[in-house]
A and B are shown apart, each in its own frame.
Chain A
Amino acid sequence: MAQQLSAAKEPNAEQIAEQKLYKQMGVTDDEYARICGFLGRKPNYVEIGVFSVMWSEHCSYKNSKPVLRRFPTTGPRVLMGPGEGAGVVDIGDNQAVVFKIESHNHPSAIEPYQGAATGVGGIIRDIFSMGARPVALLNSLRFGRLENDRVRYLFEHVVSGIAGYGNCIGIPTVAGEVMFDESYEGNPLVNAMCVGLIDHDKIQKGVAKGVGNPVFYVGPATGRDGIHGATFASEELTAESEAKRPAVQVGDPFMEKLVMEACLELIDSGIVLGIQDMGAAGLTCSSAEMASKAGNGIELYLDRVPQREEGMTPYEMMLSESQERMLYVIRPEHEAQARAIFDRWGVICAKVGKVTDDGRLKLFHHGELVGDMPVGALVDECPVYNPASQEPAYYRENAAIDTLRYPEAANLTETLRRILASPTVASKEWVYNQYDSMVRTETFVRPGSDAAVVGVPGTRKALAMTTDCNGRYVYLDPAVGGRIAVSEAARNIVCSGALPLAVTDNLNFGSPEKPDIFWQLEQATEGMAEACRALETPVIGGNVSLYNENAKGAIYPTPVVGMVGLVEDVDHITTQGFKAEGDIVLLLGDTKAELGGSELQYVLHGVTEGRPPELDLAVERALQQAVLEAIRGGLVASAHDLSEGGLAVALAESCISGGGIGASVALETELRPDVALFSESQSRILLSARPDKADALQELLAARGVPCRAIGTVGGSELRITVNGKEGVRSDVAQLEKAWKEAIPCYMK
């Protein structure tokens, strides 16, 4: 009865057409006409619902496909590029690394704990649905300024949502980044990345193979949560978004742990023909994509779908984004074997459909055909848009601004202390101490260094991993900012002793329907693609999150780069902290007067303006290759990438991470002292080396054409920097550490 009542409330095909109800689901008039064409009739309520999520930006990439095509996606090590749940890269010895990043920005803006938690849950499913064992999590976060109450609320609960999910499921959260800028107020970014390991012969695909084979549903029962989540993620946040809180899903990491263990055991048994997680657009997307990839069709018997509530309609079941669910296909004769595995783990498993040969997604409910759509139209026929693109006025205006127009910073020690206490630069211990970063006992470099390093069990190899993106640079010049994001990620990987392998990207932008935003997207992806080619790090998968806007406008364009590298031997692992008294400090690369988008500019003058630092990819490549060669040759004691806050901050961090050891540095420069210390020129790395190795190191760098200067020595308990013989910075490392460590806890008390 309840079901009839509920179904009776649904409009029929005529009403949908007359009242243009499809518009509420984000379907345009043209798209609606196209759908009618594919069906040869008007779609009913469940059909228009299914089309609307499949044709949302989140699932179809209809606005971003043209720019995504710019990325290089192949390489000698790439076993699987974009298209499946996650990309796969060879690491030798029949092993591969699987990784992907995904956003959960909109849900986190409305319901931060569950939004962030289910973001983590979703990306983990993408990894284990490939057959890989998840071994590490990372996350890249952006918030407004911490002075704002709502921002602190979002920050606090996003972090505890990530912790709550990752800690419980037993996958270490090993790295990430957090930046704060008013540009993200009201629209925080929550990007979660998962890394897994797999043997080559175990790689799975989401395909519905074999006509007549049964289709199984695994995981908790389907509820009414997250309905239209993918559509919600494809529009701008408004005052009404709060009312869409029910579109946010609720996570259960314990359930996911059971589903994960059971699925990995099932895959290990060798009987799985195809498996895919139910992420965005739940049952709809997983069934349609699995059928499409195999060139088959699927029939679903919706009354067999486990249901959490009574009277759920086909529409609700198809569009629900209830979490921790998977879909798989096996041969009928293996059903009992599969069932035994799920029974032992106490996980629900139901036969909900079968593979057909007619290329259609057919939905049955209590024996009645309630939906019938061509799979090809759902998956491949969404119109692709080429939105208008226009260079915004701000771009040219900024290019003309002289970043040296502010007076010279008078007290350099105090300036350093202020920048260290700026939340973007400050220690993120408050964040990562809430994450279990060590479970699985393979975490060799914990959060807080340039990149985390996680061992490959049973080998001498390890994986280095990081996420990076400075949205301020991308805003000021998207092409340069895109190059920097990729280059800096790779530089972090190299500084930890690893060879950069590949990229997963998360393109967080405003509305692509605005020409200046689409211009940002085009420029940024072009810059990223150039860097990926130059550094030989193809893009193997990723995610696009558009419509990141609020009342005040779009966020800074933030194409987050997740990167994984291979440490050939654990002896090569290098960290940023200074190691021993007497070690020589070397600065690699050239420092120029580049303050545009810098932390100095933001902290002292409250602006983000001018040109961002330039980046020459040939120079960057030479630097990275030489440093990796030096590390592998055993010449390097510590390595640290120069980024926000420039040389002074890098020196302070190497002292603090070195357990509070000091350093004495003398700079000779033609730049203004504050510029020399805080410029954010790219392609620079701070190294330290034992005195008996320093000469060999400098020779190697010179031979590779990398600019290198010995600027000081490690020792004592003070950081002392002179500029052209005059005292610049002088402070106990302990004082600097205090400013750096206490900044975020102080806001969060």
Chain B
Amino acid sequence: MKGDRVMKFAVLVFPGSNCDIDCYKAVESTIGQPVDYVWQTSTDLSAYDAILVPGGFSYGDYLRCGAIAQFAPVMGALKQAAEDGKYILGICNGFQILTEARLLPGALLRNKALKFRCHSAKLRVVNNETPFTRDYAENELIDIPIAHGEGNYYCDEATLKELQANRQIVFRYEAGNNPNGSVDDIAGICNRAGNVVGMMPHPERAVHELLGSADGKRMFTSILNAWRERSGAAVIGG
């Protein structure tokens, strides 16, 4: 990589996070960039180029998923990082935390069938022009697992129109196979600026054929390539 600066990743850890290790391993195995666990009491994320908010049951999902995590000390630094244009990816409970913290619009409700669901899911890459999806083809169908009880994305009519108009819908469940009843089959969205993405499916669980799919790998290469391009470095193959 011709002496390029490495991209530094942080994986936030709250009490009850349980996909933190998976996110850490995925960064290491897919793009080999340095990654640190950052405990929720930290108030400085300035050393990092990308921040992953992992899945799990932060604070036991007490009160409401993500509702307590939004008050953790690290959230101030996370909001600053979002404003600074750093890449932030919230997966599953991480997505719930990002909506509770208003870094993303809408909310995640209980699955329509009222049951936790864990299985492979087919996702449509709706917008492949975000820093998180540039290595996918537009409308590509990818296989990424889900594992959630509260993944039913909801927002009001006006917000949905905005999401659609601004191309903020990043992933949709394949038509007819929406596992949780989300509005407009939404599986993942980004903020207006495109540097914050939240999604219910777990790309970090689909990074190797042994896990049943390697389709999640390109999310990580996308982030690295977007960052390299922004900092004027050479991109890697998808």
Residues of A within 8 A of B (CB): 160, 163, 167-170, 252-255, 257-258, 345-346, 432-441, 443-444, 446, 455, 570, 573
Contacts and interface: CB of A to CB of B under 8 A. Distances in A.
Given A168-B60, A252-B60, A434 B18 contact: no
A318 B117 CA distance: 39
B71 interface: no
Contact of A437 (B18, B56, B118): B118
B117 A170 contact: no
Contacts of B5: none
Nearest to A164: B116
Contacts of B26: 441
The residue among A438, A446, A573 with the most chain B CB atoms within 10 A of its own CB is A438
A439 B117 CA distance: 13
Contacts of B204: 441
B25 interface: yes
Given A170-B19, A433-B119, A443-B211, A438 B59 contact: no
A441 B147 contact: no
B19 A439 contact: yes
A438 B205 contact: yes
Contacts of A252: 60
A167 B147 contact: yes
5 contacts: A167-B116, A434-B117, A436-B147, A439-B147, A441-B204
B184 interface: no
A621 B209 CA distance: 32
Nearest to A170: B18
Contact of B147 (A257, A345, A438): A438
A570 B210 CA distance: 9
B140 interface: no
A439 B202 CA distance: 10
Contact of B22 (A160, A254, A441, A455): A441
Nearest to A429: B119
B60 A254 contact: yes
Nearest to A252: B60
A169 B118 contact: no
B32 interface: no
B73 interface: no
B21 interface: yes
Nearest to A430: B115
A413 B204 CA distance: 43
Contact of A438 (B60, B61, B116, B145): B145
B121 to A, nearest CB: 11
Contacts of A441: 21-22, 25-26, 204-205, 207, 211
Interface in B133-160: 145, 147, 149
B118 A436 contact: yes
B11 to A, nearest CB: 13
B238 interface: no
B15 interface: yes
A340 B183 CA distance: 46
B210 A434 contact: no
A254 B211 contact: no
Contacts of A455: 210
Given A438-B211, A439-B22, A253 B117 contact: no
A192 to B, nearest CB: 17
A560 to B, nearest CB: 24
Nearest to A458: B25
Given A170-B56, A439-B22, A570-B210, A434 B115 contact: yes
A160 B110 CA distance: 15
Contact of B57 (A167, A435, A573): A167
Interface string B176-206: 0000000000000000000000000010110
A254 B16 contact: yes
Contacts of B202: 438
A495 B116 CA distance: 30
B212 interface: yes
Nearest to B55: A439
Interface in B200-229: 202, 204-205, 207, 210-212
Contacts of A439: 18-19, 22, 55, 147, 205
Contacts of B211: 438, 441, 443-444
A170 B26 CA distance: 17
Nearest to A167: B116
A437 B118 CA distance: 7
The dominant DSSP class at the B interface is: mixed
Given A167-B118, A253-B60, A439-B205, 13 more contacts: A254-B16, A254-B62, A345-B15, A346-B15, A432-B118, A433-B117, A434-B116, A438-B118, A439-B55, A440-B22, A441-B21, A444-B211, A573-B210
B41 to A, nearest CB: 9
Given A254-B57, A345-B15, A436 B22 contact: no
Contacts of A160: 115-116
A465 B145 CA distance: 22
B56 to A, nearest CB: 6
Contact of A257 (B18, B145, B149): B18
A168 B60 CA distance: 7
A434 to B, nearest CB: 5
A444 B210 contact: yes
A160 B62 CA distance: 17
A575 B207 CA distance: 20
Contacts of B21: 440-441
A144 B73 CA distance: 50
A583 to B, nearest CB: 20
B66 to A, nearest CB: 14
Nearest to B149: A167
Contacts of B15: 254, 257-258, 345-346
A253 B18 CA distance: 12
A163 B116 CA distance: 8
A255 B55 CA distance: 17
A461 B117 CA distance: 29
A252 B207 CA distance: 32
Interface string B49-82: 0000001110111100000000000000000000
A168 B118 contact: no
B210 A169 contact: no
Nearest 8 interchain pairs by C-beta: A170-B18, A254-B60, A168-B57, A441-B22, A436-B147, A444-B210, A436-B118, A434-B116
A358 B210 CA distance: 56
Contacts of A169: 18
A440 B207 CA distance: 12
B58 to A, nearest CB: 9
A438 B117 CA distance: 12
B205 A168 contact: no
A436 B116 contact: yes
Given A438-B211, A439-B22, A455-B210, A168 B119 contact: no
Contacts of B22: 439-441
Contact of A434 (B57, B62, B118): B118
Contacts of B118: 167, 432-438
Contacts of B119: 433
Contacts of B56: 170
Interface string B109-134: 00000011111000000000000000
A262 to B, nearest CB: 10
A657 to B, nearest CB: 13
A168 B25 contact: no
Contacts of B210: 444, 455, 570, 573
A439 B56 CA distance: 9
A441 B209 CA distance: 12
Contacts of A163: 116
A433 B115 CA distance: 9
Contacts of B61: 168, 254
The residue among A346, A439, A444, A573 with the most chain B CB atoms within 10 A of its own CB is A439
Nearest to A435: B118
A677 B205 CA distance: 40
A576 B147 CA distance: 24
A254 B212 CA distance: 29
B35 to A, nearest CB: 15
